[in-house]
Amino acid sequence: MNCRECTEHLYEFLDKELTPEVEREIRTHLEDCPPCGEHFDFERLFLDFLQARCRARGAPPDLKRRILRELFDE
């Protein structure tokens, strides 16, 4: 696997969407190729950052009360 092929699978690899065989080929390439390794690390940090910033907030507390009232007439 060369750098271009490896990078094509970047997000599928980070999202754990690859077959075990392709995943293994990528891992091998990343171990042998520091530039790709650094790039993948950067993209992983970016995804972790995105998730941390976006998953923090949930529904406002009174929304559940409104829904329960609507559904079950409470």
Partner 1 sequence: MSTATPATPAPGPVDEKRATFEREALVHLDSLYRVALRLTGNAADADDLVQETMLKAYRAWDQYEKGTNAKGWLLTILRHAFINEYRRRTRHPETVDLDAIEPYSVFGDVQDDDPQGTFFDRIVDDEVLRAIDQLPEQFRETVVLSDVEGLSYEEIARILEVPVGTVKSRLFRARRLLQRKLYDYAVGMGYIKASPA
**What is the contact surface with partner 1 in residues (CB under 8 A)?**
10-12, 15, 17, 38-39, 41-43, 45-47, 49-51, 53-60, 63-64, 66-67, 70-72
**Other beta carbons less than 10 A from residue 57's beta carbon:** 7
Interacting partner of 20 out of Zn ion, partner 1, none (Cβ under 5 to 8 A depending on kind)? none
- Footprint of Zn ion on 29-48 (CB under 5 A): 33, 36
Is the CB of residue 6 less than 8 Å from the CB of residue 32? no
Nearer to Zn ion, 3 or 68 (CB): 3
